[in-house]
Amino acid sequence: MPTNDTLQAARADHELAGGPPRGSSPALTLVAALLGFALITLDASVVNVALPAIGGDLGGGMSALQWVVDAYTLAFAALMLSTGAFADRVGSARAYALGTVVFTLASAACGVAPGLGVLIGARVVQGVAAAVVLPASLALVRQAHPDPARRARAVALWAAGGSVAVALGPVAGGALTTLWDWRGIFFINLPLGLTALALTARAPRAGRRPAPLDLPGQLTAAVALAALAFAVIEQGAVRIGAGALAVVAGAAFWLIERRVAHPVVPLGLFRDRTVTVAMGAGAAASAAFYGVIFVFSLYFQRVRGESALTTGLMFLPMTALIPVMNMLSGRLSMRFGPRVPMLAGQLLALVGLLLLLIADAQAPAPLVAFLLVPLALGCGLSVPALTAAMMEALPQERAGLAAGVLNAGRQVAGALSIAVFGSLVDGEAGFVPGMRMGLVVAAGLVAGAAFSTGWLRGRR
């Protein structure tokens, strides 16, 4: 998903005075941080194309395949709220090494999983580890580059690694599944994770900081999000019970956040209209993008009968343009303010979602691949701009916290979108009608976000 990830982990916002410690290597530290960030970003998208192969090998219905994706995304999103503070408390290098080790071991567990239960459980552990790696990786980059100009270039390269990983995810997933096996998408993480871990030995060791942790708020947030996903994905009594639990946990979270001294999500952030609009716009963009990637990965293979490799290549035209649009968004924001690229991107994404309604069992696969492009262009244009708008609306000392909340919200929206799309295509109406219903829902969300954006003040 296109994202201004340079802001995601700014909870590690402290900078070292002077140069990096003796013996450390800024270049190797950047490579280690970039590799870890690209690895956890890749794992969020690489699995989609492999879902039919996983289902064919391990069995299970649509809900199980949804959990293979959402188990990672929900754990990642829920813990992203607190892991920046955790990295500060234990030191960014230690946190990065711990997260990388756990992520690599969990990847190995995914690769040898004998059944869907083990696979989904290992995906949860992957998500937890990824939430630790992300803020720690950016903190390492910042600590290794005390000069502001060099740090800016290093952070830009770090962010570009995430964009490239997003672009390569579907293609890599299709290639590994076709030429090797679906387990290869997890086994490939082992040498990459070990390489990142080895490079961390040359990273600067920063002191620990007594950053506050809101454990009750973090726990209730995680329970509420997991229960909400269960309510959308599962059926029958499980859905009713999960929905009730989501309401209770959500209410408890709200009460806790109102009373604690250092809340994981300060509710006062949402008093600013720009912050609220940016949060809504980010959620709509993620819901549209992640939902479409999920459902069209299944569409190309189940409806069109394409191979996993061909399916991955069908996404290449859209994903390859994401880094380009991210850079264009930044330039437009600097010249016109963030509202212009936000609104232009949202309208372009809306057009793309409506164009995809013509996809059916007879539509040529290359045509559908072409129709996916406007959505990617729109999301790539709007997301960096909406992030900039949110950062611009808040004082600098709250920027890191707000960025963490923004990106956690976007991840949750993407996970819930996958749950909704999966439930619709697995319904009685059939795959293509269900897919179209999901596209209409996503189009409605993006249209609502565009309407709200239109009422924002233009700022530079």
Residue 220 has pLDDT above 80, yes or no: yes
Q: Which residue has 């949804």 as its token pair?
A: 66
Question: pLDDT tens, 227-280?
Answer: 888 888 877 777 889 889 999 999 999 999 888 878 877 787 788 888 889 889
- Lowest mean pLDDT: which of 139-153, 249-263, 330-344, 387-401? 387-401
Question: pLDDT tens, 13-41?
Answer: 433 334 455 555 778 888 888 888 888 88
Averaged pLDDT for residues 172-183: 90
Q: Check residue 399 and give its pLDDT.
A: 57
| Summary mean pLDDT of the chain | 83
The amino acid at 273: R
* pTM, entire model: 0.82
- Lowest mean pLDDT: which of 147-151, 292-296, 304-308? 147-151
DSSP H helical segments within 91-115, as ranges?
92-111
Q: Check residue 41 and give its pLDDT.
A: 85
Averaged pLDDT for residues 318-340: 84
DSSP H helical segments within 234-338, as ranges?
236-259, 273-298, 308-314, 316-319, 322-336
Question: pLDDT tens, 203-214?
Answer: 666 555 566 777
Higher pLDDT, 325 or 19: 325
Lookup: tokens for 421: 């799309």
Q: Check residue 8 and give its pLDDT.
A: 40
Cβ count near 266 (within 10 Å): 17
Q: Check residue 447 and give its pLDDT.
A: 95
Q: Read off φ and ψ for residue 150, nearest 5 degrees.
A: -65, -35
